[in-house]
Amino acid sequence: MSGILGIYAFDELWSVSRFLYYGLMGLQHRGQEYSSITTWRDGEIYTKASEGLVEERFTESSIGKLKGYVGCGCVSTSRGLGRPITVSKSEVTLTLYASGGLIDTKFHELAEFLADEVRRSDIEQAGLTVLEKFRGGYSFICITSDGRMIAARDPLGVKPLCVGGLGFDLAVLASESSALDVIGADLSRDIEPGEVFAIEKFDIRRGAANCKRRAYCSFEYVYYARPDSIINGIHVYDVRRRIGLILSEMDPVEADVVIGVPETAIPFAMAYSQATGIPVEIGFYRTGRSMRTAIRPTEIERLIGVQLKLNPIRAAVRGKRVVLIDDSVVRGTTLRNTVYLLRKRGAKDVHVRIGSPAIRARCPYGTAVPPEDELIGRALTPEEIAEVIGADSFSYLPVNKLIEAIGLPGDSLCLGCFTGMYPDIEVV
Amino acid sequence: MKVLLVGDGSREHAIAEALARSVKEPRIYALMHLINPGIARVCERSGGGYRRGSPIDPIQVADYAEELSVDFVFIGPEEPLFHGVADEVERRGIGCIGAHKAVAEIEMSKAYMRRLMWKYEIPGRLRFKSFRSIEDAVAYISEYAESLAIKPARQAGGKGVKVIADMQAYLSREKREVKTKHAERVVKEHMKDYTDIEDKILLEEKVEGPEYTLQCFSDGETVLSMPLVQDNKHAYEDDLGPETGGMGSICGKGLTLPFITMEEYSRSVEIVKRMVEAVQKETGELYRGVVAGQMMLTDKWGPTIIEMYSRFGQPEGENVLPLIETDMVEICEAILERKLSRIKLEFREKASVVKCIAPLGYPERRDLARGHPIAADEEAIARRGGKLFWSSTDMVDGVLITGGSRACEIYAEADSIEEASEIAERCIPYVKLLDGWRLFHRSDIGAPRSLEKRRMLADLVREIYQYRERRGILGRTIDWIPGRGKIEL
């Protein structure tokens, strides 16, 4: 998982590194393991890549050293995408950041191919040739050695990418609109699936690749994206509220309190509560900084994350029948831990509701899903899961209800992790 | 009847055509700096003619008018007004449509315009500070982290304005640096050629909202307003990119725009009328010619003056001039005789869209945009329902070349802005550069998504200014400073 950001200042007076720094903080939820920024000024490239959070790894001095009015950067969970991919083909050097995954190849290949194309054709045509050749679910932003910026979104539109501007001065491209909000830029629109958006000194060039179908990642709405982002024209917060509403209509239970697992599931719980009249409570308090536990790379890190993040508030749960809402279940280990903590602090009943369908299959588009034999939703029925995690009841959001909650046609979504069926891959 | 038109842009091309439509069949003459083939053609067809010269030179213009013994002179652009061309023409006893230098000051000096608004307590005024030295401006910028518009104190061809929202404290340092450097640039670049004004820099509070232009005729007593027009200042689509003189504009259908109410229209007219009254009172001179408010619907005031124009906007003029149904020569005569109150100013019930076409390089590097041979298939454009106005072009040794700014404009009209925009789009491919250099334009101007965005912005702003009005704090800036108490700025 990654978040990418590109900023192009039309007036050379600007220095964009601090805008990139704060913009990436607005994308940090998409990957907390690696952070990187690259800037460009008059043919010179300045780069810093580091393990860890943007906020921790970039100091005043490193921001000052990243000079220039053109720049891009990323946050990522993966070492491979957490650093800039730099390639040189004769006189063209490209620095590229990507989010997502390619089928049967690597982003380094894509970058080399793009550099070759940039050398021989118009910039938007170069981008289009790349989109037509490389299959997968991805978006990328790169800077050429002559200071042009090329951004593109795969023809399926799996990974989000949007564009906006700050007055007459900056154009901003980002995985999510939250990055634009943080730096005060106004969202113009989503980059369309198969669109190339290239900024040159005196022009913005666009290209549209041939798109057979769309396959927007549905998991963005369930988990990845920030609730204040707008993706594919849909407010993420609205989707999360609708999910809570739908959950409240399914498998009704008698309960005293609704609790959302922080932080993603809180809008689910609030909508659930408003629909049922069961009061919502802050059930947990966090120790340490905000953490996205589900995308931590190792089991032990995820468990540490959950234990630190989820200290149950006794007064909110003791003696109560609890509806516990979480966004998704992968292996079930962290959820088991959570239910156990609630019981230990005196919860009487614990009914678990999940704001997404069972995860049954891998993601070919760059999301690290564990091997299929580690997915609890593939191995066990809801009743069995309830036993394993120690809950009184357990249920998922069905796939058709997720589609309804997102509000886009089902055939324009990628639901591969829930169904094992992918938009452009034959299932063996 | 003979008329002398001063100026060579698309605005003057549209004025020439409006004059040529008159039943009085005037012979039209033009004094141009660069030769605009559209104006040249109108002049020739009307039995008039044209001359290359300096439109800002009062003597040249007045001499040419005398030589031709024209019935009146029509001045298109602002610079001739600032140079006193209208004063000289009238001194020779020839009628002139165009503001005298003294009253054109409402456009020439942005500081003068603001002072006037405060002195006469005209609604839609913004807080401002003007500076005569760069040091004072920089000292001010360094002290206050504010969202600002930094402008050359004088109208400088629409160039040199920078608007910076400084809302995030964590980005304030970068912004302060850019504000300071830009202020220096305003003095060193944009103001360096102007010696006719003492103020150098104007800092204004930044406001947000949809912009629109209200153009009016004035004879010194009566102000007659035209339909609202909205220009699009960003160079590139999706409202991105550097500020330009305008990449295209939309109008109609009817007096107002889809996102401005009739009440807001009336208030805007009232503001422009009060501006005219104020400047007449201040100078003791009549305002005769065209006056326009370049306005914005803001959360502070509702209708707010951003700048004043002492002429038609460009491209905004091209939206309304083709729609005027009333005889243009009659309007001009009424202005000269101070009988504008007797004119019933009428417009055809159509929406209109103007799309500007510029060579790559515009607006930042006009040197790169200049000198490319250009051609347009005007018949094909007409067949598709559009019309071409030539703008920044010149005829050199029989070859038409670009002048560095927007080279031409496509005008289209229909029952809705969206339809007019589509017609214009179909015409765009018929304009070409002949040397392989690229042209660009904005296909989003007048498109449904763009209109929707403006409607949403207007709704947002309207909610706030109406709340302010209900609270009785419209246009006021009230603050509370610890230790000092409640203050009003």
Q: Which of B152, B182, B205 is the last residue before a domain boundary?
A: B205
Same domain, B261 and B364: yes
Rounded to whole angstroms, how far apart are CA atoms A165 and A7? 9
Same domain, B397 and B379: yes
Nearest CA in chain B to A15: B174
Same domain, B283 and B338: yes
Say yes or no for a CB contact (<8 Å) between A19 and B171. yes
Q: What residue numbers bound the domain in which B15 lies?
A: 2-98
- Are the C-beta atoms of B411 and B381 separated by less than 8 Å? no
Rounded to whole angstroms, how far apart are CA atoms A348 and A318? 7
Rounded to whole angstroms, how far apart are CA atoms B234 and A316? 53
Residues found in chain B: 489
- Are the C-beta atoms of A7 and A40 separated by less than 8 Å? no
**Is residue B415's pLDDT more than 60?**
yes
CB count, 10 Å around CB of B427?
Answer: 25
- Average confidence score pLDDT of chain B: 95
Same domain, B89 and B199: no
- Are the C-beta atoms of A170 and A128 separated by less than 8 Å? no
| E-strand stretches of B69-166 | 72-75, 95-97, 128-131, 148-152, 162-164
Q: Give chain B's domain count.
A: 3
Residues in chain B within 8 Å Cβ distance of A204: 236-237, 240-241
Same domain, B160 and B250: no
Q: Distance from B478 to chain A by nearest Cα, in Å?
A: 24
Q: Is residue B37 part of a domain?
A: yes
Q: Is residue B338 part of a domain?
A: yes
Q: Is residue B467 part of a domain?
A: no
Among B136, B111, B289, smallest CA distance to B194 is for B111
Q: What is the pLDDT of residue A62?
A: 94
Residues 6 or more apart whose Cβ sits within 8 Å of residue B123 = B267, B270, B271, B274, B301, B303, B474, B475
CATH number at residue B133: 3.30.1490.20
Same domain, B143 and B18: no
pLDDT band at B169 (very low <50, low <70, confident <90, very high): confident
Q: Which of B205, B233, B267 is the last residue before a domain boundary?
A: B205
Amino acid at B239: D
Same domain, B167 and B18: no
* Domains of chain A with bracketed CATH: 2-212 (3.60.20.10), 219-419 (3.40.50.2020)
β-pairing verdict for B370-376 and B289-298: unpaired
Residues 6 or more apart whose Cβ sits within 8 Å of residue A56 = none
Q: What is the pLDDT of residue A428?
A: 42
Q: How far is residue A151 from each of residues A161, A174, A195, B135, B203, measured CA to CA in Å?
A: 9, 9, 8, 41, 36
Same domain, B192 and B82: no
Rounded to whole angstroms, how far apart are CA atoms B291 and B99? 8
The sign of the CA dihedral A40, B176, A54, A50 is positive
Please name the residue that has the structure tokens 């001194």: B91
For the record, the structure tokens of A363 come out as 């993601």
**Is residue B309's pLDDT more than 90?**
yes
Q: What ipTM is given for this predicted complex? A: 0.92
CATH number at residue B29: 3.40.50.20
Rounded to whole angstroms, how far apart are CA atoms A421 and A401? 17
Residues 6 or more apart whose Cβ sits within 8 Å of residue B252 = B227, B319, B323, B349, B350, B351, B352, B417
Residues in chain B within 8 Å Cβ distance of A188: 238-240
pLDDT band at B142 (very low <50, low <70, confident <90, very high): confident
- Average confidence score pLDDT of chain A: 94
Q: What is the pLDDT of residue B190?
A: 86
What average pLDDT does the segment A35-60 reach?
94
Phi, psi angles (nearest 5°) of residue B163: -115, 120
Residue A18 has its nearest CB partner, among B174, B181, B238, at: B174
Nearest CA in chain B to A189: B238
CATH number at residue B238: 3.30.470.20
pLDDT digits (tens, 9 = 90+) for B199-240: 899 999 999 999 999 999 999 999 999 999 999 999 999 999
Question: Which of helix, strand or coil describes residue B332?
Answer: helix
Residues in chain B within 8 Å Cβ distance of A172: none
pLDDT digits (tens, 9 = 90+) for B72-117: 999 999 999 999 999 999 999 999 999 999 999 999 999 999 999 9
Say yes or no for a CB contact (<8 Å) between B440 and A203. yes
Residues found in chain A: 428
Phi, psi angles (nearest 5°) of residue A23: -60, -40
Q: Does B438 touch chain A (CB under 8 A)?
A: yes
Rounded to whole angstroms, how far apart are CA atoms B473 and B470? 8
Question: Which of helix, strand or coil describes residue B212?
Answer: strand
Rounded to whole angstroms, how far apart are CA atoms A152 and A138? 8
Q: What is the pLDDT of residue A322?
A: 98
Q: Is residue B469 part of a domain?
A: no
Residue A22 has its nearest CB partner, among B162, B171, B240, at: B171
Q: Does A263 touch chain B (CB under 8 A)?
A: no
Same domain, B217 and B265: yes
Residues linked to residue A422 through DSSP beta bridges, in sequence order: A425
β-pairing verdict for B302-309 and B431-433: unpaired
Same domain, B377 and B247: yes
pLDDT digits (tens, 9 = 90+) for B171-191: 988 899 999 999 999 888 888
Same domain, B425 and B348: yes
Say yes or no for a CB contact (<8 Å) between B368 and A202. yes
What average pLDDT does the segment B321-334 reach?
98
Q: Which of B440, B456, B476 is the last residue before a domain boundary?
A: B440
Same domain, B183 and B223: no
Q: What is the pLDDT of residue B384?
A: 97
